[in-house]
């Protein structure tokens, strides 16, 4: 029986630190987030919705060339021009609107000062960010953690997939439940949450793919419950149902 299950049976803290240690020992340090300034992190967090990071990099390069990587420049920019610059990320009109919503929020609430914004207590700022058009939980938490150094964990599709496969979560993915689980289980330090999120993403890309996860090579294999169908490298459940169909 795995560490997780015996800890989980205690009813509260789960041995997620072991996940962290195994991944960190193989992959770390990850040196996230790939951005030059806190504002660039925020722009990236908004633009990365529903697209790959390489597309975000192209859009950020466009914004940089046009000298538009500041809150005031984005606030003053014409919507059509802004949309054209972020076009590589897809849904570009919506994303231009989201960027404008954020900088207008920053102006009205904090006089365009990110320093002032990030001095706000974490829970209060999270609520405020979630009220901004186009900012959902994952984007809000990315902003809080990677731009503001607040102690929150960012949950993404890879987290849901890995936690679901390991029996850490059951049923429909629940963002806030997974976030609370990690935040209660690891030391509440931004560098730890930062690194753990990056490690989870890398694990999802390298081994825990949607179809045919490579458990044999994965550092987390020892934490996979003994009765897990994923110990099979066949990519199918015992029922013969393709793995991908059974996962979020
Ligand atoms: S690849 Fe297998 S061992 Fe690795 S995280 Fe996914 S389910 Fe777990």
> Does 4 contact ligand 1 (Cβ within 6 A)?
no
Q: Are 46 and 99 in contact (CB under 8 A)?
A: yes
CATH code: domain of residue 106 = 1.10.340.30
No. of helices (H) and no. of strands (E), the chain: 13, 0
> Does 221 contact ligand 1 (Cβ within 6 A)?
yes
Q: Can you give the pLDDT at residue 173?
A: 86
Q: Are 129 and 140 in contact (CB under 8 A)?
A: yes
In a domain, 120, yes or no: yes
Residue 157 has pLDDT above 90, yes or no: yes
In a domain, 172, yes or no: no
Residue 230 binned pLDDT confidence (cut-offs 50, 70, 90): low
In a domain, 103, yes or no: yes
Q: Are 50 and 86 in contact (CB under 8 A)?
A: no
Lowest-confidence pick of 67-81, 110-124, 216-230: 216-230
* Closest C-alpha among 244, 232, 233, 235 to residue 161: 244
User: Tell me: the pLDDT tens digits for 115-134?
Assistant: 999 999 999 999 999 999 99
Share of the chain above pLDDT 70, in %: 86
Q: Whose CA is nearest to atom 6 of ligand 1?
A: 208
In a domain, 104, yes or no: yes
Number of domains in the chain: 1
Round to whole Å and give the CA distance between 151 and 13: 17
In a domain, 194, yes or no: no
Give the position, in ligand 1's atom list, of the atom nearest the Cα of 161: 6
Residue 98 has pLDDT above 60, yes or no: yes
In a domain, 186, yes or no: no
Q: Can you give the pLDDT at residue 73?
A: 98
Residue 229 binned pLDDT confidence (cut-offs 50, 70, 90): low
Residue 143 has pLDDT above 90, yes or no: yes
User: Tell me: the pLDDT tens digits for 186-219?
Assistant: 999 999 999 999 999 999 999 999 998 999 999 9
Which residue range(s) make up the domain with 88?
38-147
Q: Can you give the pLDDT at residue 245?
A: 43
* Angle, CA of 46, 51 and 54, to the nearest 5°: 95
> Does 208 contact ligand 1 (Cβ within 6 A)?
yes
In a domain, 22, yes or no: no
């Amino acid at each position: 029986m795995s560490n997780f299950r015996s800890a989980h049976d205690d009813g509260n803290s789960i041995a997620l630190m072991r996940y962290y240690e195994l991944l960190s020992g193989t992959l770390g340090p990850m040196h996230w987030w790939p951005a030059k300034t806190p504002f660039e992190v925020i722009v990236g967090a908004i633009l990365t919705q529903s697209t790959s990071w390489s597309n975000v990099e192209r859009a950020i390069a466009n914004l940089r060339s046009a000298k538009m990587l500041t809150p005031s420049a984005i606030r003053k920019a014409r919507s059509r021009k802004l949309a054209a610059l972020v076009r590589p990320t897809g849904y570009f009109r919506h994303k231009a609107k989201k960027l404008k919503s954020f900088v207008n929020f920053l102006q009205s609430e904090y006089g365009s000062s990110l320093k002032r914004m990030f001095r706000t207590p974490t829970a209060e700022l999270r609520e405020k960010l979630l009220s901004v058009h186009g900012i959902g939980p994952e984007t809000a938490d990315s902003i809080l953690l990677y731009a503001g150094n607040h102690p929150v964990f960012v949950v993404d599709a890879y987290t849901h997939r890995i936690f679901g496969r390991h029996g850490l979560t059951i049923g429909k993915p629940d963002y806030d439940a997974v976030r609370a689980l990690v935040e209660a289980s690891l030391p509440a330090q931004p560098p730890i949450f930062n690194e753990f999120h990056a490690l989870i993403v890398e694990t999802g890309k390298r081994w825990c793919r949607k179809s045919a996860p490579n458990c044999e090579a994965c550092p987390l294999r020892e934490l996979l419950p003994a009765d897990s169908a994923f110990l099979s490298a066949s990519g199918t459940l015992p029922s013969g149902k393709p793995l991908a169909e059974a996962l979020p």
